[in-house]
Structure 1
Amino acid sequence: MNTGGWSDLISAAGSSQSLSLQHVISAMLLAFVLCSVIAKLYQVTFQSLSYSRSFVHTLILGGMITCMVMMSMGDSLARGIGVLGALSLIRFRTVVRDPRDMMFLFAALGLGIACGAGMFAVAVTGCFLLSSVIALLHWAPFATRRRYEAMLRFLVETNDDKARLEVNGILDECCSAYTLLAMREAVQGNLLEYSYQVRLIDPSYQVDLVKKLEAADSIAEVNLVMQRTTVEL
């Protein structure tokens, strides 16, 4: 009976890797420095409105914790299964709405894995290349689209067909595209409230659009709210 395969499996499952204190400290400090670079780039290139300081801290702490877990597992299969079972008990209920934030988190965890596995060259090179790409995508005009979108609301008399035609004419003059989102009764059914998603030809047209609508006799309470493409309404 060949016992070589069983002995190799048992050795892999229970092997322990002895790491020096200097190696542990070096790996943890490198994970901290590289993840701090990623976190700083996230802070500098952030363009949305819901900035979270705790998420920036998570990028740094997540990389360092991953590095520690990787060094704790070493080459032991049993430790890896134990860590996987322990992590399966944790329920992360924080919703990451922006896929870009998720990629930054994956980058920090990847750097932590590389540092914990002792692949310092991979970690440093990966951090440098990722930082270069992040900076390039942020400052280069790649995938940029100039859109001047807004939410338009106004009131029109219920049976005034002439006003609705006038509204369409004004929208054609000032907007490159517009879509009717909602229409409901207001003021006990005497008026109709219209809600439009509009895309202006130029940002200066927002003043002209409001003035032209307010100049119409049967249109009242014109409200135009400009929005950014990164904001969900």
Structure 2
Amino acid sequence: MLSSLLVESSVDLSIKQLLVCIITSVLLGLLVAFIHMYRNVYSKNFVITLAILPILVQLVIMLVNGNLGTGVAVLGAFSLIRFRSVAGGAREITSIFWSMGIGLATGMGYVSYIVLFSLIIAIFLLLLNTIHFGEKQKISEREVKITIPEDLDYPGLFDDLFQQYTYSASLDSVKTTNMGSLYELRYRITLKDNTREKELMDAIRIRNGNLTIVSGKVSTNREEL
């Protein structure tokens, strides 16, 4: 059932067999593109690439089938393309490998094999994304910038407040402002309760003489792995 369509010599490849492989690559490429778009941020060019990649890989595999020298040359060409491309996220890499796997299988004639496995992978990915598998529980992580006068000794100044209102708090940076008359402390905190954020801000205002306090999202780039 899962044997190759191309059991005969590649020279005797019939038009019917070729069309079956091409149509399979096109349809499965579209499947990969649709699965990648499901609950994901994507660009038009990337999903078009996912759709067309299987048939391109199939073409290459059919051309180099049985030719060691040509296969090594194609491997070198793929490595050059790899280093000229921008690194993507985990989901992008998964989709690219899936598309290339489809092209490899159809290029070798294993149509039934790749159709079966693509359907299993598609259902599995849809299920994992639908049930939000692997998502972290929402934690109120905040970046807080506190301005204090220069005469305050900032080490440990807000430790008791952070112990009361947060699970964790770390001082990321300290810098002087206003010609050195003020300090700006930048903390990364994890709140115990979102509804008590104002209480924490009010308590800090008492300590810092009602100077500026800024509380916002953590400004960092994160990759979903």
- TM-score normalised by the chain length of structure 1: 0.78
1: CA distance between counterparts of 2:158 and 2:46? 45
Alignment of 1:90-129 (within 5 A): 90=81, 92-129=83-120
Secondary structure in structure 2 of the residue aligned to 1:143: coil
**Equivalent residue, structure 2, for 1:158:** 150
Partner of residue 38, structure 1: 32
Query: How far did 1:27 drift?
Result: 1.6
Deviation at 1:126, TM superposition (A): 1.4
In the alignment, is the contact (CA less than 8 A) between 1:180 and 1:197 conserved in 2?
Answer: yes
- Count of matched residue pairs: 214
Q: Which amino acid aligns with 2:215?
A: L
Q: Cα 1:140–1:226, aligned 2, differ >3 Å: closer, same or farther?
A: same
- The within-5 A match list for 1:179-194 is 179-194=170-185
Deviates most, 176-185 or 98-107? 98-107
Contact 1:32 1:64 in 2 (8 A): yes
Q: How far apart are 1:207 and its partner, in Å?
A: 4.1
Q: Deviations over 1:169-205 (max 9, x none)?
A: 3322322111111111111111111111111223434
Aligned to 1:22: 16
Against the structure 1 CA distance between its residues 41 and 139, is the aligned structure 2 distance closer, same or farther, given a 3 Å change threshold?
A: same
Matched with 1:226 is: 217
* SS of residue paired to 1:196: strand
Question: What is the CA distance between 1:16 and its match in structure 2?
Answer: 4.8
The gaps in structure 2 that reach 5 residues or longer are 1-8
Which piece of structure 1 moves more, 110-119 or 32-41?
32-41
Going from structure 1 to structure 2, the CA distance change for 1:23 and 1:99 (only over 3 Å counts) comes to same
How far apart are 1:127 and its partner, in Å?
0.8
Q: Does the aligned pair in 1 maintain the 2:166–2:192 contact within 8 Å?
A: yes
Q: Contact 1:64–1:112 (CA<8 Å) still a contact in 2?
A: yes
* Aligned partner of residue 72 in structure 2, secondary structure: helix
Distance 1:204 1:31, change over 3 A: farther
Aligned runs of 1:82-97 on 2, under 5 Å? Answer: 82-90=73-81, 92-97=83-88
Residues 94-103 or 114-123, more deviating: 94-103
- TM-score calculated relative to the size of structure 2: 0.80
* Deviation at residue 88 of structure 1 after TM alignment: 4.5
Kept after mapping to 2: 8 A contact 1:149/1:228? no
Residues in 2 aligned to 1:150 and 1:172: alpha-carbon distance in whole angstroms:
15
Residue 219 of structure 1 and its aligned partner are, at CA, apart by: 4.7
* CA shift for structure 1 position 106: 0.7
Q: Contact 1:16/1:76 (CA < 8 Å) preserved in 2?
A: no
Whether the 8 Å contact between 1:17 and 1:74 is mirrored in structure 2 is: no
CA RMSD in angstroms comes to 2.8
Conserved? CA contact 2:148–2:208, under 8 Å: no
- Deviation, 1:97, is 4.1
Question: Quick one: which of 128, 131, 135 aligns to 1:144?
Answer: 135
How far off its partner does 1:167 sit? 2.6
Task: Please give the per-residue CA displacement for 1:101-135, whole angstroms capped at 9, x wherever unaligned.
Answer: 21221111111111111101121111112112212
Distance 1:122 1:228, change over 3 A: farther
Structure 2 CA distance, aligned partners of 1:41 and 1:119? 22
